[in-house]
Amino acid sequence: MANDNRVYTFLISPSRTSKIRQLSIDKNLLRAAAAVVVFTFLLMIYGAVRLGQHEALNLKYLSVKAENENLKQANDAYENSYARLKGQISYIEDMSKELARKARMEHSPEIDELVGIGGPETVVALDKAANQLERDVRHINDHLRSDILRMASIPRGLPVNGYVTDGFGMRRNPFNGEGREVHEGLDIAVDFGTPVTATADGLVIYAAPHAGYGNLVIVYHSNGITTRYGHLSRISVEAGQRVKRGDQLGNAGSTGRSTGPHVHYEIRENDQSVDPLRYSAQSSGLRVAN
């Protein structure tokens, strides 16, 4: 047929009895229809692929979102810990400043500057601040310890709790009332046998009778300071023995140049006697007669 390229002819019979209809379709039209079908099919495939891609993206988005949420929580926890640590360091710093002030010490430059605010170096800064604080506190501790040792070896109070019947300095001779003499310590009247105690930490350097002092104990403290306890009825330490403030050295008596039971108490700085009241003024229980 000449028009074979252009037309397809369909014979259609709805039923056996009805008459046959003839349908002619242009071949190009059929091709176009086929092309539309193929195009539609390709479009559907493309759509399906894109949908798949979208789903994949969506899943990825969800997982990233969840990961982000976790990171945010971790970050929050980190920031909380950081803030807490910073607060603790700041608190310890305040305490160390207070301690340094009490110890009359210089405090190192502000830790605040080391800690700073925010930024990626914060942990490094905290670490530095903590190290600095550790050094500060160690330094204060050493200082206080030496301070305590020094304080402990400075005479304080009196060796017995009694009446000061004779003070330091020039006085009339107590034996014959004639002439004047230098009294190099305090005379403290107490009952016979009253325990006599060291007024500071130190080393016993003498514990024996000594002329007018009678039974005498001498304790060396530090910085050239010594204390003397005279007229003891009994000595309970020996030379070379270390004593603490409050340790018993012996018992009060009236040995040596004495008119009655009392303790002759002296403080010497580089072997020069000084007024013990200068050291003992703040002691409790100090009673000076007349």
Binding site for Zn ion (CB under 5 A): 187, 264
Min. distance of Cβ 191 from Zn ion in angstroms?
A: 17
Residue 173: CB minimum distance to Zn ion, A: 12
**Between 136 and 187, CB nearer to Zn ion:** 187
CA distance 75 to 81: 10
Residue partners of 127: CB distance under 8 A and separation at least 6: none
Chain position whose Cβ is nearest to Zn ion: 264
Own/partner contacts of 115-119, CB < 8 Å, gap of 24 or more, are 115/86, 115/89, 115/90
**Closer residue to Zn ion, CB minimum distance, 116 or 174:** 174
Structure tokens at 156: 């304080």
- Please name the residue that has the structure tokens 């539309």: 36
- The rounded distance, in Å, linking the Cα atoms of 43 and 175 is 135
Q: What minimum distance in Å lies between the beta carbon of 248 and Zn ion? A: 20
Closer residue to Zn ion, CB minimum distance, 132 or 279: 279
Please give the angle made by the CA atoms of 149, 246 and 211, to the nearest 5 degrees: 105
Contact 221/153 with Cβ under 8 angstroms? yes
Closest distance to Zn ion from the beta carbon of 150 (Å): 28
Nearest-approach distance from CB 209 to Zn ion, in angstroms = 16
Our CB check for Zn ion shows the closer of 187 and 201 to be 187
Residue number, 169 or 193, with CB nearest to Zn ion: 169
Minimum distance from CB of 230 to Zn ion (Å)? 7
Q: Is 210 exposed, middle or buried (0-12, 13-18, 19+ CB in 10 A)?
A: middle
- Give, as one character, the DSSP assignment of residue 213: G
CB-nearer residue toward Zn ion: 15 or 176:
176
